[in-house]
């Protein structure tokens, strides 16, 4: 059923409204990752020496270029971790537009709801973002001591956190904050599983770029399926 929700989200990519938000989100995601990469590359170039003298080879002037090239690979690896907070932060920006597009296409019987104030949605999103960052920093200890299990810990933790965030924010549009929390408690297992379907592809470079927006659409379908009175 969760796969069906995700396939419905993918199937709406051709919708002009949905596609506009998807491309806008994709552009901002890429811009953010490039900004982080540019800052890191600038730091590498600043710290790396212009020349290094090695035995036999003598003076080598390409060390900074070598480090800069290696930084590209490092940034691809770091994007695996960066995309989790990105997915969280973008929820508050694109939630309303994506959810409205999905409801107009698939649930036209639903009454219109007042648009959440941007500041309120952004505040909730930033609160969740802080929780996600703090939880992942604490989880670094587990990654060190349980290296073979690190990917599963990462997926399980972030699947839980992202699922909780996306479901509650989607639900709040329809039923309010208190009822959304109650709906989450009733469906915690399904929401966690759906969160895993978000967290796992977020660790795949390039694919992870489109997951934040598709995640909002998927959780909109999930909420309407689990709480149809919404």
Query: DSSP assignment of 61-115, as one string?
Result: --HHHHHHHHHHHHHHHHHHHHHHHHHHHTHHHHHHHHHHHHHHHH-TTSPP-PP
pTM (two decimals): 0.79
Q: In b/e form, how buried is each residue of 127-157, taking b as 16+ CB within 10 angstroms?
A: ebbeebeeebeebeeeeeeeeeeeeeebbbb
Residue spans of alpha helices (H) in 107-210: 118-145, 150-186, 188-199
Which class for 229: exposed (0-12), middle (13-18), buried (19 or more C-beta within 10 A)?
exposed
Question: Token pair of 138, please?
Answer: 């604490």
Please provide residue 57's backbone torsions phi and psi, each rounded to the nearest 5 degrees: -70, -25
- How is the chain split into domains, by residue range? 2-226
How confident is the model over 30-79, as pLDDT tens digits? Answer: 777 777 767 766 676 676 655 555 455 455 455 555 555 555 666 666 67
Q: Quick check: 124 pLDDT over 70?
A: yes
pLDDT class for 131, splitting at 50, 70, 90? confident
Count CA within 13 A, CB hemisphere, residue 107. 22
Q: What is the pLDDT of residue 57?
A: 47
Contacting residues for 173 by C-beta, under 8 A, at least 6 apart = 95, 96, 99, 113, 116
Q: According to the model, what pLDDT value does residue 56 have?
A: 54
The pLDDT, as a whole number, for residue 44 is 63
- Residue written as tokens 């994007």? 79
What SS3 class is residue 52?
strand
CB 124 within 8 A of CB 177: no
Q: What is the mean pLDDT of residues 123-152?
A: 85
What does the alpha-carbon distance between residue 211 and residue 87 come to, in Å, rounded to a whole number? 8
Q: Are 217 and 9 in contact (CB under 8 A)?
A: yes
> What's the chain's length in residues?
230
Helix or strand (DSSP H, E) at 49 = none
Give residue 48's pLDDT.
60
């Amino acid at each position: 059923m969760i796969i069906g929700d995700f396939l419905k989200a993918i199937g709406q990519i051709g919708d002009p409204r949905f596609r506009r938000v998807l491309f806008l989100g994709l552009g901002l995601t890429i811009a953010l990752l490039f900004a982080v990469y540019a800052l890191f590359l600038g730091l590498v170039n600043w710290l790396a020496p212009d020349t290094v003298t090695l035995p036999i080879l003598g003076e080598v002037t390409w060390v900074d270029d070598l480090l800069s090239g290696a930084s590209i690979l490092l940034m691809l690896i770091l994007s695996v971790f960066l995309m989790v907070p990105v997915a969280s932060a973008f929820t508050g920006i694109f939630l309303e537009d994506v959810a409205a597009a999905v409801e107009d296409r698939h649930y036209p019987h639903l009454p219109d709801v007042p648009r959440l104030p941007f500041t309120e949605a952004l505040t909730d999103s930033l609160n969740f973002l802080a929780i996600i960052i703090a939880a992942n920093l604490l989880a670094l200890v587990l990654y060190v001591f349980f290296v073979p299990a690190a990917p599963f810990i990462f997926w399980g933790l972030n699947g839980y956190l992202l699922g909780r965030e996306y479901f509650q924010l989607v639900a709040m549009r329809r039923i309010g904050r208190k009822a959304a929390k109650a709906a989450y408690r009733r469906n915690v297992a399904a929401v966690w599983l759906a969160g895993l379907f978000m967290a796992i592809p977020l660790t795949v470079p390039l694919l992870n770029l489109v997951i934040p927006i598709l995640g909002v659409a998927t959780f909109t379908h999930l909420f309407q399926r689990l709480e149809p009175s919404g």
